[in-house]
Amino acid sequence: MEDDEKYDYNAIKEVGRASYEALMYGKGLVKPGARLLDIAEGVESYIASKGFKMAFPVNVSVNENAAHYTSPLGDESVLAADAVVKLDVGARKEEYLGDCAVTVDLSGRHEKMIKACEEALAGAISMVRAGRKVCEIGREIESIATKHGFRPIKNLGGHGVERHDLHAGVFIPNFDNGDDTELEEGQIVAVEPFMTDGIGLVADGETVEIFQKRGFPQVRSGEAREIGMFIDKHYLTFPFAARWIQKELGHGDDFRVRRAIAELSYAGAIESFPVLVERSKGIVAQAEKEMIVEKDSCIVVTE
């Protein structure tokens, strides 16, 4: 964890509040027939209108997709009347990052799972304090999930949030994994229960729309160099969507952008984040809040 003196806690609270307000705005856009692209771009525009940048592309993940779905440019996918939608949103102010998520069940048939997920989040938050072992938080999440007849997703979980890095340091499991790492006073963490009526594991899907710059190796084509320099200037090492580049650079030809991203990825300059899919195609619910760890409790910043 970084030293407390390196954190601007007022900035963390500000970006957390902006993230939560954007999440609630986006929740209002989640309706049957709504285009996933309109939801993502609507939330991203809302965040920009408030003077913030994006911590990561808005995730609109449906049904068995647990996370990492953001629309490509021109995406005509719409929400079915029975969709279970995970909306994951984060604003950024300079190097400070927000992260929060909510699940909306348009069918009304999965409310029990969503309420169990929210109960698990509340139970986990009540345990957050300096000295708390992360496996104990995971045990609480798993206990609440199983009490209601669901499984936690074991290869997803919460995480530390540091300057410039949304997933840094500590990992907070959704079950008791035996990790006795203790939370530290002043640390920033996001608690993130995922639960399902499936087997409780996710795997990489075929769709990949989110990327992150990781290095600065040489690439051969001028097109890849152009896009690499654009990423360095505008997104730094924060996650970005392929559609952002297409819109900003006016590259209507999706193939050109994909080819450049593929070259940067092959060279080790870019990391890809595929959509995460529940392995048995079970429905997934997610809930997430970000908080500052205190001596005897925590301060939730995304509310």
- Which residue in 88, 162, 176, 263 is the catalytic one? 88
Specify the 3-state DSSP secondary structure of 170: strand
The dihedral through the CA atoms of 18, 21, 26, 27 has a sign that is positive
Is 164 labeled as catalytic in the residue annotation? no
Long-range contact pairs involving 242-248 (C-beta distance under 8 Å, separation at least 24): 242/72, 242/73, 242/209, 242/211, 243/70, 243/71, 243/72, 243/73, 243/209, 244/57, 246/73, 247/73
Q: Which of 159, 176, 209, 278 is catalytic?
A: 159
Cβ-based neighbours of 283, under 8 Å, separated by 6 or more: 63, 64, 84, 110, 113, 196, 197, 198
99 belongs to the catalytic site: yes
Single-letter amino acid, residue 89: V
Choose, from 14, 140, 192, 278, the residue flagged as catalytic.
192
- Separation of alpha carbons 232 and 222, rounded Å: 15
3 is known as an active-site residue = no
Contact 283, 199 (CB under 8 A): no
Annotated active-site residue 296? The verdict is no
Catalytic residue among 14, 263, 288, 290: 288
Are the beta carbons of 26 and 88 closer than 8 angstroms?
no
> Helix H segments across 80-110?
none
Active site residue 234: no
The sheet with strand 84-89 has its strands ordered as 59-62, 84-89, 100-105
- Among the listed residues 44, 99, 140, 278, the single catalytic one is 99
Catalytic residue among 2, 167, 182, 234: 167
- Residue 88 bears catalytic tag: yes
Q: Which residues are catalytic?
A: 88, 99, 159, 167, 192, 288
